[in-house]
Amino acid sequence: MEHRPLGRTGVSVSKLCLGAMMFGDWGEKDHDGSIRIIHAALDAGIDFIDTADVYSAGESEEIVGKALRGRRDDVVLATKVFMPIGDDENPNRRGTSRRWIVQEVENSLRRLNTDWIDLYQVHRPTPDTDIEETLGVLSDLIHQGKVRYIGHSTYPAPLIVEAQWTARERRLQRFVTEQPPYSILTRGIEAEVLPTCRRYGMGVIAWSPLQGGWLSGLYRKDAEITGPQSAARRREANDYDLSLPKNQRKLDAAEQLAQLAEEAGLTLIQLALAFVLNHPAVTAPIIGPRTMEHLESQLAAADVVLEQAVLDRIDEIVPPGVNLNPADGGWQNPSLRPEARRR
């Protein structure tokens, strides 16, 4: 499989990243079944794996750790920190404070059965925490050898710039990657986030390139599918309520895209993944298979190159820089919530 540079780190990774959110209680509950999928991905040439402490309350990390026994040195391993684990309501057991990150990185290392994490990422913006606090502890982890590189996920462009300048001014380690939501249905990052990442030489690891299954081919106007197919997606049930106008817009677009894919001799999955792969700022989209069949269907997109006419038609269906549903952007600025903007 083709490799691409991970920003300016000097590290190269496979052009597809294996996402591990579906391994464990949120998806494939059988550990051996999940491990078989991971091994099949490795055998197919994927050497980039992304997970998070929150996925199935740490179970995903444990499964990945089991799967990488004897193969750890061959994999660029990424995980994330920020969200509360399971039902833990303790406000100090989440976020990006020094207190929590120092504690939780040790838990991730233990679950992953490794001495180091290649890419340790902040899972969501934390505007209530000083960015210097977060960068300071992450820099310490790099100096201690527990983490090789640091990144963030779903950061808006202004916060990306602030973090880069804070690292420069305070002589701290800088974030080298961003992990944003990006698909044909969710193109908002094209306006500012992707150009900003290119400006700072950051790698981009796109999550949900199939828009949580909307671009899998399951959601068609004549289909009988009425809801999400995994526990992870059922946590966001409103995102699949076809009576809502926002989801009708996605359904209409998915129908047109499926027809376009058929005309191009592709599956909708191949079209969707190739679209994300086609953007020059993207390092690798994250594929998140729950079954071996899912993996095989997504691997088939690795070598697809879309013709200009197909890309132009995609732009007609979903214009550049547009999220069909703004909530699919993954993070909403708390300053824009009604209670925060009342004067």
Instruction: State the catalytic residues.
Output: 55
- Calpha distance 263→260 (Å, rounded): 5
Handedness of CA 234, 20, 136, 195 (dihedral sign): negative
Helices 268-278 and 245-263, interaxial angle, to 10°? 90
Concatenating the DSSP letter of every residue in 222-241 gives T----S-SSHHHHTTGGGG-
Tokens of 313: 């038609």
> Which tokens belong to 301?
């997109």
Give dist(CA 305, CA 121) in Å, integer: 30
The two tokens of residue 104 are 């939780």
- What is the Cα–Cα distance from 208 to 327, expressed in whole angstroms? 13
Tell me how far CA of residue 327 lies from CA of 146, 247, 304, in angstroms.
Answer: 35, 11, 29
**What distance in Å separates the CA atoms of residue 329 and residue 343, rounded to the nearest whole number?**
27
Structure tokens at 203: 């790698």
> Tokens 């001495």 belong to which residue?
115
Handedness of CA 238, 78, 303, 308 (dihedral sign): positive
